[in-house]
Chain A
Amino acid sequence: MSLSLAGVSRAFGGVRAVDDATFTVADAEVHGLIGPNGAGKTTLLNLISGLLQPTSGRIELDGRRIDRLPPHRVAALGVARTYQNIRLFAGLSAADNVVVGEHLRRHAPFWPRLLLLPSAQREERAAREAAEALLSRVGLRERAGTPAFSLSYGEQRRVEIARALASQPTLVLLDEPTAGMNPNEAAAVARLVREVAREGRTVLLIEHNVRLVMEVCDRITVLNFGKVIARGAPAQIAQDPAVIAAYLGDGS
Chain B
Amino acid sequence: MTDLFLAYESLFAFVGINGLLALSVYATLCCGQLSLANAGFMAIGAYTGALITLRAPGVPFIAALAASALAPALIAVPLGLPVLRLRGVFLAIATVGFGEVVRLFFVNWDYTNGALGLVAIPQRTHLWTIALALALALYVLGRLRGSRTGYALEAIREDETAARTMGIYTTGHKLAMLVLGAALAGLAGGLEAHHTFMVAPGGFAFGRVVDMLVQAVVGGTAAFYGPVVGAAFLTVLPEVLREAGARLGLAPGPFRLFLNGAILLAVILYLPNGLVSLPARFRRRARGMA
Q: Which residues of A contact B (CB under 8 A)?
A: 49-51, 70-72, 74-76, 80-81, 83, 87-92, 96, 99-101, 103-104, 106, 108, 110, 113-114, 120, 124, 127, 163, 167
Docked complex Cα distance between A167 and B169 (Å): 15
Is A110 in contact with B164, judged by CB distance below 8 angstroms? no
Asked if B149 is at the interface (CB within 8 A of a chain A CB), the reply is yes
Is B148 in contact with A103, judged by CB distance below 8 angstroms? yes
Is B155 in contact with A75, judged by CB distance below 8 angstroms? no
Task: Given A87-B159, A91-B158, check contact A75 B166 (CB 8 Å).
Answer: yes
Q: Which of B87-95, B139-147, B191-199 contacts A (4 or more CB under 8 A)?
A: B139-147
Q: Which 10 residue pairs of A and B lie closest in terms of their CB atoms, listed nearest first? A: A75-B167, A89-B158, A104-B167, A71-B164, A87-B162, A108-B148, A100-B155, A72-B169, A71-B165, A100-B151
Is A103 in contact with B161, judged by CB distance below 8 angstroms? no
Interface centre among B149, B155, B164, B166 (most CB of A within 10 A): B166
Asked if B277 is at the interface (CB within 8 A of a chain A CB), the reply is no
Contact partner of A89 (CB less than 8 A), chosen from B146, B162, B164, is B162
Asked if B152 is at the interface (CB within 8 A of a chain A CB), the reply is yes
Is A100 in contact with B164, judged by CB distance below 8 angstroms? no
Docked complex Cα distance between A5 and B158 (Å): 32
A-B contact pairs, 22 of them (CB 8 A): A50-B164, A51-B161, A51-B164, A70-B164, A71-B161, A71-B164, A71-B165, A74-B165, A81-B165, A88-B162, A90-B158, A91-B158, A92-B158, A100-B155, A100-B166, A103-B155, A103-B166, A103-B167, A104-B166, A110-B143, A110-B144, A120-B147
Collect the chain B residues with CB atoms within 8 Å of residue A91's CB: 154, 158
Collect the chain A residues with CB atoms within 8 Å of residue B165's CB: 49-51, 71-72, 74-75, 80-81
Is A113 in contact with B162, judged by CB distance below 8 angstroms? no
Is B162 in contact with A103, judged by CB distance below 8 angstroms? no
Docked complex Cα distance between A110 and B140 (Å): 10
Asked if B137 is at the interface (CB within 8 A of a chain A CB), the reply is no
Is A76 in contact with B167, judged by CB distance below 8 angstroms? yes
Collect the chain B residues with CB atoms within 8 Å of residue A113's CB: 143, 147
CB distance from B136 to the nearest CB of A (A): 11
Collect the chain B residues with CB atoms within 8 Å of residue A49's CB: 165
Contact partner of A100 (CB less than 8 A), chosen from B140, B143, B154, B170, is B154
Contact partner of B148 (CB less than 8 A), chosen from A71, A72, A80, A106, is A106
Collect the chain A residues with CB atoms within 8 Å of residue B154's CB: 89, 91-92, 96, 100
Docked complex Cα distance between A178 and B268 (Å): 39
Docked complex Cα distance between A204 and B63 (Å): 57
Is B155 in contact with A87, judged by CB distance below 8 angstroms? no
Is B168 in contact with A72, judged by CB distance below 8 angstroms? yes
Q: A71-B165, A90-B159, A124-B147 are in contact. List 16 more A-B contacts (CB 8 A).
A: A51-B165, A72-B166, A72-B167, A87-B159, A91-B158, A92-B155, A96-B154, A100-B151, A100-B166, A103-B151, A103-B155, A103-B168, A104-B166, A110-B144, A110-B147, A114-B143
Docked complex Cα distance between A19 and B49 (Å): 60
Docked complex Cα distance between A49 and B162 (Å): 11
Contact partner of A72 (CB less than 8 A), chosen from B151, B158, B170, is B170
Asked if B163 is at the interface (CB within 8 A of a chain A CB), the reply is yes
Collect the chain A residues with CB atoms within 8 Å of residue B161's CB: 51, 71, 87
**Interface SS, B side:** helix
CB distance from B155 to the nearest CB of A (A): 5
Is B146 in contact with A124, judged by CB distance below 8 angstroms? yes
Interface flags for B201-235 (1: CB within 8 Å of A; 0: not) read 00000000000000000000000000000000000
Q: Chain B: which residue is nearest A113 at the CB level?
A: B147
Collect the chain B residues with CB atoms within 8 Å of residue A103's CB: 148, 151-152, 155, 166-168
Docked complex Cα distance between A101 and B154 (Å): 12
Collect the chain B residues with CB atoms within 8 Å of residue A70's CB: 164
CB distance from B135 to the nearest CB of A (A): 14
Task: Given A92-B154, A100-B154, check contact A72 B149 (CB 8 Å).
Answer: no
Collect the chain B residues with CB atoms within 8 Å of residue A50's CB: 164-165
CB distance from B146 to the nearest CB of A (A): 7
Collect the chain A residues with CB atoms within 8 Å of residue B168's CB: 72, 100, 103
CB distance from A174 to the nearest CB of B (A): 13
Docked complex Cα distance between A106 and B151 (Å): 12
Docked complex Cα distance between A50 and B164 (Å): 9
Q: Chain B: which residue is nearest A79 at the CB level?
A: B165
Interface flags for B38-63 (1: CB within 8 Å of A; 0: not) read 00000000000000000000000000
Docked complex Cα distance between A80 and B165 (Å): 7
Docked complex Cα distance between A120 and B149 (Å): 13
CB distance from B171 to the nearest CB of A (A): 9
Is B149 in contact with A89, judged by CB distance below 8 angstroms? no
Collect the chain A residues with CB atoms within 8 Å of residue B139's CB: 114
Docked complex Cα distance between A110 and B146 (Å): 11
CB distance from A10 to the nearest CB of B (A): 17
Q: Chain A: which residue is nearest B172 at the CB level?
A: A72
CB distance from A175 to the nearest CB of B (A): 11
Collect the chain A residues with CB atoms within 8 Å of residue B151's CB: 96, 99-100, 103
